[in-house]
């Protein structure tokens, strides 16, 4: 009976030093990833919101490229979006619609020589405004011409 009791108590000791060290290391790694990559995803959220707000603008079709960029820049300034998203705004006019694209990629150093590359592609097509902000058009064909 005492052997069974001793085995039962040994199973209830809890995690060892190495177990706790592993838990802390995993938690630290997850916290590092969130702190390094989180701001980029917050910016992408605000880019999405800016395009949705632009889609709700009734005078969008009458706006010039510079007015559209100025409107997005104002939204980005209010929401503290800086860097690549603000530089990547592209407006392409078609015969009966307009495409506003914010397509960019960020390289964020994670640990020592390990980098994380994050790609974001948000598009507003005025002919399909309800599908904002999913990429509907491959912009590679337009980049080759520019």
Geometric angle at alpha carbon 133, from 127 and 139, rounded to 5°: 75
Distance CA 8, CA 12 (A): 7
**What one-character-per-residue DSSP string does 71-128 give?**
HHHHHHHHTT--SHHHH-EEEEE-SS-EEEEEEEEEEEEEETTEEEEEEEEEEEEGGG
- Here the tokens at position 46 are 């605000």
Task: List the chain pLDDT tens, one digit each, 146 residues.
Answer: 566 666 666 666 777 888 899 999 999 999 999 999 999 999 999 999 999 999 888 888 888 889 999 999 999 999 999 889 889 998 888 877 888 899 999 999 998 899 999 999 999 888 777 777 777 777 666 555 54
Position 14 scores a pLDDT of: 74
């Amino acid at each position: 009976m005492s052997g069974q009791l001793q085995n039962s108590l040994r199973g209830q000791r809890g995690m060892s030093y190495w177990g706790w060290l592993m838990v802390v290391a995993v938690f630290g790694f997850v916290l590092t990833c969130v702190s390094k990559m989180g701001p980029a995803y917050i910016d992408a959220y605000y880019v999405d919101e800016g395009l949705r707000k632009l889609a709700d603008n009734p005078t969008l079709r009458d706006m010039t490229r510079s007015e559209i960029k100025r409107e997005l820049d104002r939204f980005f300034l209010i929401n503290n979006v800086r860097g690549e998203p603000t530089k990547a705004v592209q407006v392409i006019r078609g015969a009966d619609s307009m495409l506003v694209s914010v397509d960019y990629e960020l390289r964020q150093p994670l640990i020592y020589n390990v980098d994380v590359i994050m790609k974001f592609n948000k598009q507003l097509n005025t002919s399909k405004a309800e599908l904002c902000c999913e990429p509907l058009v491959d912009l590679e064909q337009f980049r080759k011409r520019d």
